[in-house]
Structure 1
Amino acid sequence: MNDNDQNPKKRTGMASLAAAGDDDFSVIDAIGGPRGVVESMLPGVVFVVLFVVTSDLNLTIIVSAVLAVAQVIVRLIQRQSLMGALSGLIAVGICLIWAWQSHEARNYYLFGFLTNAAYMVLLTVTLLIRVPGLGVMIEFIRTLPTEHWRAWLHDWLDDAPLKRAYTIVTLLWIGVFGLRLVVQVPLYLADQVAWLGTTRLLMGIPFWALAIWVSYLIVATPMHRHKLAAQAAHAESESASSASSESSASAN
């Protein structure tokens, strides 16, 4: 049985921060568990090692593609969640196609540059309009609003400590995406595939895990206090409603 089937509350990636006010937060679970880490890093490791050893781009692409597909097939056979594996397959597929069409191994990493730049620009825009992007993501996952969007937005934006925490972690993630570009783009331009692949791996899952952990440390306390305040307000509202109903019944 899949670990996620045993524990349906387990969340990975940014979704894990939606439970930052709880006591069961785990960085390992947040980055997909040991298996998720291996599945995320293995195609990149195989690509850079095989290309450096053989200098055969076509062979490297074929082996990397087979490996990515095999990971999905194994999960399918084991009847486990395919979401992470499929998203990884799509991302790897795009990278491999770009490298194959351009006949340049370094273009395997080009898609990553574009996504990092896009995330950095998008998060920067959210700060400029004073609605921190990480706050939108985490609160949307945490409360899943289906109506009353304005009330939902102001519920956490009007909580100054929580908004400040979300602003800080948004800046943190902008820094993560920006640092990746600053370090890796010069290696791409210099066509240093081995070094580019190595830095890509080091600044991938390890950076992701560190950023999630620091984000948790920043967000956990204000989010927990916000949850307690919301629960207290809800209890007070129910108490007032109950008292009003009893008063009405007595009057009748």
Structure 2
Amino acid sequence: MAERRPSSSGTGLKALATAGEGDDFSVIAAIGGVRGVVESMLPGVVFVVLFVVTQNLDLTIGVSAALALAQVVLRLLQRQSVMGALSGLVAVGICLIWAWKSHEARDYYMFGFLTNAIYATVLGVSLIAKVPALGVVIEFIRQLPTEHFKAWFEDWTGDKALKKAYTVITWLWMALFLLRLAVQVPLYLTNNVAALGVARLLMGIPFWALAIWVSYLIIATPMHRHRIAKAHAGQAENGDSTIDTVTTVKDE
């Protein structure tokens, strides 16, 4: 029996793109590791706690911005990858600017509402079109279709088990985004910043980790079987080519 090699490193959907390659899938690694989780959650925690305690929006914005910037600087000083922290800084910056311009602390969460609504809409449209968006993204990451796009598309959509798995997790992620909106938008409308902040934190990284883990459980087996079937098909094709070549030489 061939040994399955360990899955390669990666976070988020990139981690899921290697789901069928090994048995050492780590949710913690997939969501950025312990440090990545802390860096993602800390600005939000500081924002809601500091605002609830001081009711000073300008101070809260200033401290949260300084903290997000400090995380990027610290990674630079340690000569570590700053892409995760930098993307987090941009997201936090948009949220803080939104709250600062409106003078409403609750507007810190408006950007999240928009992104969740957009993601849910895109996933929903893909399901209606019967081309699960998560399948498109994961397969795009797994094997970049720089050419022969049609063959790439038909390769995974033609595998009923794999396409069904991608369809299920696309429903799962769409439900996650809609659930966030269903819980958090009423809190926004009632201006309950403390409850909104807590809900955002609980439905952020924890829900993301759960979605990635469940998605892995759903797609790992069909993805692994698809890779094996494709490898066997390639070996058979190469074998036929070798036979044809030998036959040609004999005829000559």
Q: Give the structure-2-normalised TM-score.
A: 0.96
Counterpart CA distance in 2 for 1:27 and 1:194 is 28
Secondary structure in structure 2 of the residue aligned to 1:146: coil
CA deviation after TM superposition for structure 1 residue 9, in Å: 2.9
Q: Which residue of 2 aligns with 1:65?
A: 65
> Aligned partner of 1:58: which letter?
D
User: What does the per-residue CA deviation read over 1:80-113, in whole Å, with 9 as the maximum and x for residues that have no partner?
Assistant: 1111111100000000000000000000000000
Q: Which residue of 2 aligns with 1:32?
A: 32
> Aligned partner of 1:240: which letter?
D
CA deviation after TM superposition for structure 1 residue 243, in Å: 1.5
Q: Which residue of 2 aligns with 1:16?
A: 15
Change (3 A) 1:8 1:166: closer
Counterpart CA distance in 1 for 2:150 and 2:13 is 23
CA deviation after TM superposition for structure 1 residue 250, in Å: 2.1
Q: Give unmatched runs, 5+ long, in structure 1.
A: 1-6
Counterpart CA distance in 2 for 1:104 and 1:138 is 38
Q: Is the 8 A contact 2:8 2:18 kept in 1?
A: no
Q: Which residue of 1 aligns with 2:117?
A: 117
Q: Is the 8 A contact 2:7 2:18 kept in 1?
A: no
Secondary structure in structure 2 of the residue aligned to 1:19: coil
> Aligned partner of 1:216: which letter?
Y
CA deviation after TM superposition for structure 1 residue 246, in Å: 1.7
Q: Which runs of 4+ in 1 moved over 6 A?
A: none
Counterpart CA distance in 2 for 1:139 and 1:177 is 22
> Aligned partner of 2:181: which letter?
L
Q: In terms of mean alpha carbon deviation, does 231-240 or 170-179 score higher?
A: 231-240
Please give the root-mean-square deviation of Cα atoms over the aligned residues, in Å.
Answer: 1.2
> Aligned partner of 1:86: which letter?
L
> Aligned partner of 1:145: which letter?
P
User: What does the per-residue CA deviation read over 1:14-72, in whole Å, with 9 as the maximum and x for residues that have no partner?
Assistant: 11100111222111110000000000000000000000011000000000000000100
CA deviation after TM superposition for structure 1 residue 8, in Å: 10
Counterpart CA distance in 1 for 2:7 and 2:66 is 31
Q: Is the 8 A contact 2:19 2:223 kept in 1?
A: yes
5 Å-filtered alignment, 1:1-252, equals 9-22=8-21, 23-252=23-252
CA deviation after TM superposition for structure 1 residue 251, in Å: 2.1
Counterpart CA distance in 2 for 1:80 and 1:144 is 27
Counterpart CA distance in 2 for 1:8 and 1:233 is 23
Change (3 A) 1:142 1:134: same
Percent identity over the alignment? 65
> Aligned partner of 2:191: which letter?
D
> Aligned partner of 1:10: which letter?
S
Counterpart CA distance in 2 for 1:12 and 1:158 is 27
CA deviation after TM superposition for structure 1 residue 171, in Å: 0.2
User: What does the per-residue CA deviation read over 1:189-222, in whole Å, with 9 as the maximum and x for residues that have no partner?
Assistant: 0000000000000000000000000001111111
Q: Which residue of 1 aligns with 2:3?
A: none
